[in-house]
């Protein structure tokens, strides 16, 4: 039953609601319950689900049901439209200014995909924007984290700044930036160690790195399979660092990825890229409409609606 998504359940419920006219409260209540369950099964945070469906229900009451649709389908259409807007309402792509050095900082929980994504972003923007990138290894904690970034750099033929015997991430960041200035690199990406948002000492370290390198982008990397916790993670990283965007990784899995909605809903920050594999080419722009369909568990919401 789980992961089936809305498709079948909805067909059943709404084949009964054939009445045309305006959406009434009863239609919406029935539909809203199913949407809630679907969103929870997709790992959208419970509180976000509540608020989101409440907003939508209020908006939906009294709306005309389009001729071709049943009330249920009309409601899904509203949900889908609203979710797409939320996910991409203020979609800002990376913000590049000619002649300015782009300084990016990767942050996030342990194992989210920061190091891999640092390599991916450097590679992508070198290709698309002809940047000369430098990767800086500020994870001094995880065994072989520096080596990992160095190997990625080697594979991509991208330079890496690292210090092997110095356990001072802030100092490394400072000298990494200096190297970027001296070497005329116009894109510098700082990899940082994974950390829990409740780890005060390590979060403070990120604040210090931020103050040292003055990043133009702070990218929170989040595993797309994250459950209810995504809200706490995003909120806390955002509160302390004022992140500029989110990268959602491991979307090549079969997760519905409700974390995407939770994060944008609570922080208002947009998802800029998605990771779609372990290889360094596996990165794509984020498309809100596709994500909405995925969260709702319908390969394509519009084709579902067309089945009216």
Partner 1 sequence: IKTKDTFKVKLENVMYMGSFDDDFFEELEETLILSDLGVETSMKITEQLRSKIKETRAKTKEEVMAYLKEIIADMVRIEQKPWTTPMIILMVGVNGVGKTTTIAKLASRYKAEGKKVMVAAADTFRAAATEQLEEWSKRVGVDIIKSTKGADPSSVVFDAIGAARARKTDILICDTAGRLHNKVNLMKELEKISRIVNREGEGFTIHNLMVLDATTGQNALNQAKVFHECVEISGIVLTKLDGTSKGGIAIAIIDEMQIPIEYVGIGEKQEDLIEFDPLKFVDLLFE
Q: Which is nearer to ligand GTP, 221 or 244 (CB)?
A: 221
CA distances from 304 to 3, 169, 252 (A): 17, 51, 23
In whole angstroms, the minimum distance from the beta carbon of 251 to ligand GTP comes to 6
Asked if residue 252 binds ligand GTP (CB under 6 A), the reply is yes
Residues 107-126 binding ligand GTP (CB under 6 A) are 108, 110-116
Asked if residue 89 binds ligand GTP (CB under 6 A), the reply is no
Distance CA 199, CA 65 (A): 50
Asked if residue 252 binds partner 1 (CB under 8 A), the reply is yes
CA distances from 15 to 3, 19, 38, 277 (A): 21, 10, 18, 39
User: Residue 106: phi, psi to the nearest 5?
Assistant: -95, 130
Instruction: State how far Cα 174 lies from the chain centre.
Output: 28
Distance CA 76, CA 35 (A): 8
Q: Which is nearer to partner 1, 186 or 223 (CB)?
A: 223
Candidate segments 111-119, 207-215, 235-243, 246-254, binder of Mg ion by CB under 5 A: 111-119
Asked if residue 41 binds partner 1 (CB under 8 A), the reply is yes
Candidate segments 45-53, 71-79, 88-96, 273-281, binder of ligand GTP by CB under 6 A: 273-281
Distance CA 211, CA 255 (A): 36
Asked if residue 115 binds Mg ion (CB under 5 A), the reply is yes
Which of the listed partners (partner 1, ligand GTP, Mg ion, none) does 238 bind, with a CB threshold of 5 to 8 Å by partner kind?
Answer: none
Which of the listed partners (ligand GTP, partner 1, Mg ion, none) does 152 bind, with a CB threshold of 5 to 8 Å by partner kind?
Answer: partner 1
Q: What is the DSSP secondary structure assignment for residue 103, as one 8-state letter? A: E
Tell me which residue of 54, 47, 7 sits closest to 293, measured CA to CA. Answer: 7
Give the footprint of Mg ion on this chain (CB under 5 A).
114-115
């Amino acid at each position: 039953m789980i992961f089936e998504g809305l498709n079948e359940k909805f067909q059943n419920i709404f084949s009964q609601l054939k009445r045309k006219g305006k959406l009434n409260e009863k239609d919406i209540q029935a539909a809203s319950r199913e949407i809630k369950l679907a969103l929870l099964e997709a790992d959208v945070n419970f509180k976000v689900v509540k608020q989101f469906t409440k907003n939508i229900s209020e908006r939906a009451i009294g709306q005309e049901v389009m001729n071709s649709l049943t009330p249920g389908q009309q409601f899904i259409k509203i949900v889908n439209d609203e979710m797409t807007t939320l996910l991409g309402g203020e979609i800002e792509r990376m913000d590049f200014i000619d002649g300015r050095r782009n300084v990016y900082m990767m942050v996030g929980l342990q194992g989210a995909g920061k190091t891999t994504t640092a390599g991916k972003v450097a590679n992508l923007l070198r290709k698309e924007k002809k940047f000369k990138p430098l990767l800086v290894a500020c994870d001094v904690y995880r065994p072989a984290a520096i080596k990992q970034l160095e190997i990625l750099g080697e594979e991509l033929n991208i330079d890496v700044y690292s210090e092997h015997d110095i356990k001072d991430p802030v100092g490394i960041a400072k000298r990494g930036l200096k190297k970027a200035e001296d070497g005329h690199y116009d894109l510098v990406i700082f990899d940082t160690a994974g950390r829990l948002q409740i780890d005060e000492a390590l979060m403070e370290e990120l604040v210090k790195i931020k103050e040292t390198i003055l990043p133009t982008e702070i990218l929170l990397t989040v595993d797309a399979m994250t459950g209810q916790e995504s809200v706490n993670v995003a909120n806390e990283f955002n509160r302390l660092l004022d992140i500029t965007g989110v990268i959602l990784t491991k979307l090549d899995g079969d997760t519905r990825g409700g974390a995407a909605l939770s994060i944008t809903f609570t922080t208002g920050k947009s998802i800029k890229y998605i990771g779609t594999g372990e290889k360094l080419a596996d990165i794509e722009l984020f498309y809100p409409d596709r994500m909405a369909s995925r969260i709702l568990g319908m390969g394509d919401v519009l084709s579902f609606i067309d089945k009216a």
